[in-house]
Amino acid sequence: MTDAAAKISAPPAFDPALLQGRSIALIGLMGVGKTTVGRRLARRLGLPFRDADAEIEAAARLSIADIFAELGEAEFRAGEHRVIRRLLEGPSQVLATGGGAVLNAETRKALKARAVTIWLRAEPEVLAERATRRDTRPLLKDADPLAVLTRLQQAREPFYREAADLIVETGAGPHSRAVDAVLAALSQWAGRK
């Protein structure tokens, strides 16, 4: 392989030891890639992967849709906070949060204390297409997904901004590009510590 080819294919280096026990938490709107990019990122870094939604479903023995329908959003948010706080008490991991996790001030505080928090962003049009591929998101089932996501983006922007240590634009393109962008942001973060 030539030097030029090696440079192009080499993934950005980031040593998880630099986290010093903190986790990498992904925040951002539905469909931005927290779950799928997070899983791939964890594999690249050799860290465990946890998805807060999956943990809530396991704890409640109900799907997210059934939790919203049977217990209500407030109960879901309370469970979401408990799950994220518990996960962040554990060793370094890549943690995919749900899109509304940052609404809780205590969750934002826990993220500040225990994670490097990365806000993944993309245009609402991209999010609407991705987030409706599966019928699992109760907040998108009764109204125009693009309108809901545009409104949620405006309403949640201050909370994402407050919680975030790093911002990564994911845009269109394959998952691998988003993973590389996150790794590059982490390397920058490590360099300015």
Ligand X SMILES: Nc1ncnc2c1ncn2[C@@H]1O[C@H](COP(=O)(O)OP(=O)(O)O)[C@@H](O)[C@H]1O
Ligand Y SMILES: O=C(O)C1=C[C@@H](OP(=O)(O)O)[C@@H](O)[C@H](O)C1
DSSP conformational letter for 16: G
Find the shortest distance in angstroms from Cβ 52 to ligand Y: 7
Angle at 107 between CA 104 and CA 109, to 5 degrees: 115
Segment contacting Mg ion by CB under 5 A, of 34-42, 55-63, 110-118, 174-182? 34-42
Q: How far is CA 29 from the centre of its chain?
A: 8
Which residue's CB is nearer to Mg ion, number 35 or number 150? 35
Find the shortest distance in angstroms from Cβ 4 to ligand X: 26
One of 23, 25, 34, 156 touching ligand X (CB under 6 A): 34
Find the shortest distance in angstroms from Cβ 121 to ligand Y: 13
Strands 94-96 and 23-27: parallel
Q: What number of other Cβ atoms are within 10 A of residue 18's Cβ?
A: 15
One of 12, 16, 18, 35 touching Mg ion (CB under 5 A): 35
The two tokens of residue 86 are: 């518990």
Helix axes of 105-114 and 73-89: crossing angle, nearest 10 degrees: 20
108 lies in the site for ligand Y, by CB under 6 A: no
Per-residue contact string for residues 9-38; x = within reach of ligand Y by CB under 6 A: ---------------------x---xx---
Q: Say if residues 100 and 77 touch (Cβ distance below 8 Å).
A: yes
102 lies in the site for ligand X, by CB under 6 A: no
Task: Count the residues in the chain.
Answer: 193
Q: Which amino acid type is present at position 46?
A: G
Asked if residue 22 belongs to a known ligand binding site, the reply is no
**CA 45, CA 94: separation in Å to the nearest integer?**
9
Find the shortest distance in angstroms from Cβ 151 to Mg ion: 19
**CA 154, CA 169: separation in Å to the nearest integer?**
16
100 binds, among ligand Y, ligand X, Mg ion, none (CB under 5 to 8 A by kind): ligand Y
Residues contributing to the annotated binding site for substrate: 53, 77, 99, 156
Interface contacts to ligand Y, rule CB under 6 A:
30, 34-35, 53, 64, 98-100, 137-139
Residues near ligand X, by CB under 6 A = 30-37, 96, 130-131, 133, 170, 173-175, 178
